[in-house]
Structure 1
């Protein structure tokens, strides 16, 4: 038993030492370069491969059910917005050469959209139609979701979870389960003192990066505030902020307003550039799903 405990302690020490403090993105105008703790056990390549596999399965299932890009004009509209946003990602990262961006619209009556690691984007028709989104508002939502992928928030959460699980499991084994009740209390405390605040921090980062991506692409960053006001009106009351993985609507709008002031000159510059250049077609997004 003593040898098992020593082995466990050494394994825990080795795994914890494998955590690295990194910043996955450059700061941009909004300063998105916070240090993140990333475990070597959770690799970007692995998450991107898993995301691609899941995304392709979802695409196949949706195609089989006639739910993928059912409205060609709607799909073309969303892809055109993505094609303007994707080139702007270089302000935060210049190492995305392996990303094969894909953008599709799923006919589903939900207020949802997401971007997986590796640039796999899905918009739900429900969020476009129920909120009657303008192009600027679609860009705000898409920029937010792209930012989660650029910042590797899923990898950061997986790294945190792996570290926490290892520590709590190790303590339980080393103490022979004598303090499992106390560990349960500690885990609940970790949820409110670490996990949820970190998730809210991720949401705030995605908001900030999203408005910069939109502004640089020539979309009005003020639309981000409009989106969350629409969401607030649609959802009514919400969970108290300290119990939620998302900031309260009031906190979110206040922070967005401050960030919009920072990126407004970028938006004006993008508009001026658009007036002097002819519109060019791009092929940034994979367009195999018809």
Structure 2
């Protein structure tokens, strides 16, 4: 790593405390309850990016994207797939209160988009999409599909997009003090920032690991076998054929680390799964 850039980033983080706090306010928060899996990391959030504000932007972008997919004949083309996805999603939504009660009243929505991409996502506030490439190429069982959808829902529950945008703001405001050195521009439009973190920048490994763990618990509470997260990952990894992994896995931990962590936490939530199946 470039030493100058590394130093600049460290200064930027420190600049959050000295500069961003004064201009916009910032705080470390716990967005969700820890659950059985024990997700307890406190997150940095900028007060100037409220959940309601970000959800409003997300809802507008989602509506535009779905309109474009509909115009292209790519929205919910297979009724059986759509019904399957929505049935699983509704069972998962019924369990979100275990991590944050307010999420039960979010305007959750999911559509199936015809695309060869192996991907799925959930925007702030619960607007979701899954691509037919994931369904057709991975051929997931219902348990494995619950692991995918639960993982994406977890990103929204933990407000990972808001956290990433807050981190970008911290870096940009802090670096503006050093503009003669860095030349970094000021914060752009919130909509552009959301598009960037949702569809351009990868999630951090910390975010991906948290989403894995929460997704496993959501699935178990909904009556889906949490151990399917391991077999899902194996299918996803196999799809790469030894090359670059699918976008869905591009920032996940290594094979051995992720497999072991998923297996360990799947066993931890097995009592929840067994209770849900009674």
Task: Normalising by structure 1, report the TM-score.
Answer: 0.78
Candidates 133, 150, 158, aligned match of 2:165: 158
Q: State how 1:173-252 maps to structure 2 within 5 Å.
A: 177=180, 179-180=181-182, 199-235=204-240, 236-238=242-244, 245-252=251-258
Q: Could you tell me how far apart the structure 2 residues matched to 1:198 and 1:68 are?
A: 26
Q: Could you tell me how far apart the structure 1 residues matched to 2:59 and 2:253 are?
A: 29
Residues 212 and 11 (structure 1), Cα distance of their counterparts in 2 relative to 1, 3 Å cut: closer
Secondary structure (helix, strand or coil) at the match of 1:141 reads helix
Q: Could you tell me how far apart the structure 1 residues matched to 2:86 and 2:203 are?
A: 31
The reply on whether 1:131 has 2:138 as its aligned counterpart is yes
* Cα deviation digits, residues 167-201 of structure 1 (max 9, x gap): 112123xxxx2x449x9xxxxxxxxxxxx998110
Is the CA contact 1:12–1:170 (under 8 Å) kept in the aligned structure 2?
A: no
Residues 269 and 106 (structure 1), Cα distance of their counterparts in 2 relative to 1, 3 Å cut: same
Q: Could you tell me how far apart the structure 2 residues matched to 1:112 and 1:49 are?
A: 23
Q: CA deviation at 1:11?
A: 5.6
Higher-Rg structure is 1
Is the CA contact 2:223–2:277 (under 8 Å) kept in the aligned structure 1?
A: yes
Residues 197 and 123 (structure 1), Cα distance of their counterparts in 2 relative to 1, 3 Å cut: closer
1:271 alignment partner in structure 2: 277
Is the CA contact 1:214–1:220 (under 8 Å) kept in the aligned structure 2?
A: yes
Aligned length: 241
1:189 alignment partner in structure 2: none
Q: Could you tell me how far apart the structure 2 residues matched to 1:226 and 1:13 are?
A: 44
Task: Normalising by structure 2, report the TM-score.
Answer: 0.81
Is the CA contact 2:19–2:174 (under 8 Å) kept in the aligned structure 1?
A: no
Q: Could you tell me how far apart the structure 2 residues matched to 1:77 and 1:12 are?
A: 45
Secondary structure (helix, strand or coil) at the match of 1:110 reads coil
Residues 13 and 19 (structure 1), Cα distance of their counterparts in 2 relative to 1, 3 Å cut: closer
Is the CA contact 1:24–1:151 (under 8 Å) kept in the aligned structure 2?
A: yes
Secondary structure (helix, strand or coil) at the match of 1:95 reads helix
Q: CA deviation at 1:152?
A: 0.1
* Cα deviation digits, residues 34-77 of structure 1 (max 9, x gap): 11111101111111111111111111111111111101011000
Secondary structure (helix, strand or coil) at the match of 2:102 reads coil
Q: CA deviation at 1:238?
A: 4.0
Name structure 2 gaps, 5 residues minimum: 1-16, 185-200
1:14 alignment partner in structure 2: 22
2:43 alignment partner in structure 1: 36
Q: CA deviation at 1:10?
A: 8.1
Is the CA contact 1:24–1:33 (under 8 Å) kept in the aligned structure 2?
A: no
Secondary structure (helix, strand or coil) at the match of 2:204 reads helix
Residues 36 and 10 (structure 1), Cα distance of their counterparts in 2 relative to 1, 3 Å cut: closer
